[in-house]
Amino acid sequence: MGDHDTPIAALRPLPHSGNLERYKAALGWLFGTQLFGIKLGLESIRRLLAGLGLPGEAHRIIHVAGTNGKGSVCAMIDAISRAQGYRTGLFTSPHLITYRERIRVDGEMIGESEVAEGLELIRATVRDWDPHPTFFEITTALALWHFKRAACDVVVLETGMGGRLDATNAIAAAASVITPIDYDHQKWLGDSLTQIAAEKAGIIKPRTPVVMAPQRAEAEGVIRAYADERDAPLQLIASLHRASHVALPGEHQQQNAAVAVAALRAANIHVDDDAVRLGLATVSWPARFQRCSDQVVVDGAHNPAGARVLAQTWRSVFGEERATIILAVLRDKEAAVLVRALAPIAARFILPASRAERALPREELAAIVQEVAPNVPVSIADSYSAAMNATEPAERILITGSLHFAGEVLATIQGVPAAYEECLQ
């Protein structure tokens, strides 16, 4: 590997607190609930929240759905609110390195002792339930339990998948936000944009303001129809936020910033111009065109729209300079479409083995690259580290294709266990 220096800040170990063994045992139980699979629906989460007396009554909740950009919008809403002086709760998914990333109060990850205490309480509550709550339902309840105990003023909830039947949709929100909708999770959400949009638009509540990013025509029509049916005032945010600096690069992040500001206004959460400037100037969101050094960028783009935006952002930052792309893709993603979107900025592809169980084998991905981008050299590597060792110091390197892989890479850079290994260490 060449001199691809990593900033000192990126090498800080994750903080630990509380009884580590108790934390690991609680996480072990939680990760075991993944055996129950994905069960979309609201009956179980409503029962769980009622049993725990959640959510807190003092919260003003902003609920965010969409295919791309929803995590960035959530992070921006949180950062601006904190800059205004509100106590904030932020719930996002998936996590990259540690489960604790999913649940934050005032920007700080939930502590290990709080994870253990909350999961023990939930485990006792659901011990005899049939059907048993799922991993995501339990995690949603844990987040709301933590936010209530922390007396958060503003809570930002990102949907896990879809919206209509997502566990987060059991909550009454002060405003609903829908970021750009595209193809992803078709197995669960449907094969057409209208079907996917209908699932996302399911977060719209009666007479609750809706803030919408620009959409394809068929998706916009569905969202507008849902809003009309529910007498929910809808605001389309088509402009970019250019009034102040946005720390996250790319024009799409200026769009996300405009949506975030509009969402706060729609929810009647007062933020002044200084808070907007400070929040957007300091917001961070890992694995979204994350500059790990002058030469290395990590981005979790994993669907067609995300890959297209990534290529556009690369051009806006680096011009015509091409990237050595270290690419790993999950088996259920549209690998050919991802490669086609990234090929115009690729000097070559290196395909490492990924630890994710659902990773597409390197040999299959190599065949796709050769078919879709026959003029771009491709090679395989045994690991991310081996792929980096095959690069030169002067190369621009883009690491992408999966949030799971991005988390694996960031964990390697920071020298900590990867997310899926955390409870086993």
Give CA separation, 414 vs 9, 10, 216, 386, in Å.
Answer: 9, 6, 39, 17
How confident is the model over 250-289, as pLDDT tens digits? 999 999 999 999 999 999 999 999 999 999 999 999 999 9
In the structure, what pLDDT confidence band is assigned to residue 3 with cuts at 50, 70 and 90? very low
In the structure, what pLDDT confidence band is assigned to residue 5 with cuts at 50, 70 and 90? very low
pLDDT score of 147: 98
Inform me whether the pLDDT recorded for 37 exceeds 70.
no
pLDDT score of 416: 78
pLDDT score of 36: 67
Distance CA 380, CA 402 (A): 17
How confident is the model over 285-335, as pLDDT tens digits? 999 999 999 999 999 999 999 999 999 999 999 999 999 999 999 998 899
Distance CA 273, CA 243 (A): 9
In the structure, what pLDDT confidence band is assigned to residue 357 with cuts at 50, 70 and 90? confident
What domains, with CATH codes, occur in the chain? 15-282 (3.40.1190.10), 290-424 (3.90.190.20)
Distance CA 132, CA 30 (A): 12
359 strand-pairing partners: 330
pLDDT score of 422: 53
pLDDT score of 187: 67
Inform me whether the pLDDT recorded for 39 exceeds 80.
no
Distance CA 240, CA 150 (A): 34
346 strand-pairing partners: 323
Task: Tell me the percentage of the chain whose pLDDT exceeds 70.
Answer: 92
Strand 175-178 versus strand 210-212 pairing type: parallel
Inform me whether the pLDDT recorded for 17 exceeds 90.
no
Task: Tell me the percentage of the chain whose pLDDT exceeds 90.
Answer: 83
Give CA separation, 412 vs 5, 100, 356, 384, in Å.
Answer: 14, 18, 14, 9
What is the CB neighbour count within 10 angstroms for residue 207?
8
Q: What's this model's pTM, rounded to 2 decimal places?
A: 0.92
Most distant CA pair in the chain: distance in Å? 60
Look up tokens 């050299």; give the residue.
377
| Tokens describing residue 40 | 């979309």
Mean pLDDT of 354-361: 90
Distance CA 349, CA 338 (A): 12
- CA dihedral (36, 41, 47, 52) in degrees, to 10, reads 80
Sign of CA dihedral 81, 83, 87, 91: positive
Distance CA 367, CA 314 (A): 25
pLDDT score of 190: 73
pLDDT score of 186: 67
In the structure, what pLDDT confidence band is assigned to residue 191 with cuts at 50, 70 and 90? confident
Nearest to 212 by CA among 177, 175, 182, 187: 177
Distance CA 58, CA 150 (A): 11
Strand 290-291 versus strand 234-236 pairing type: unpaired
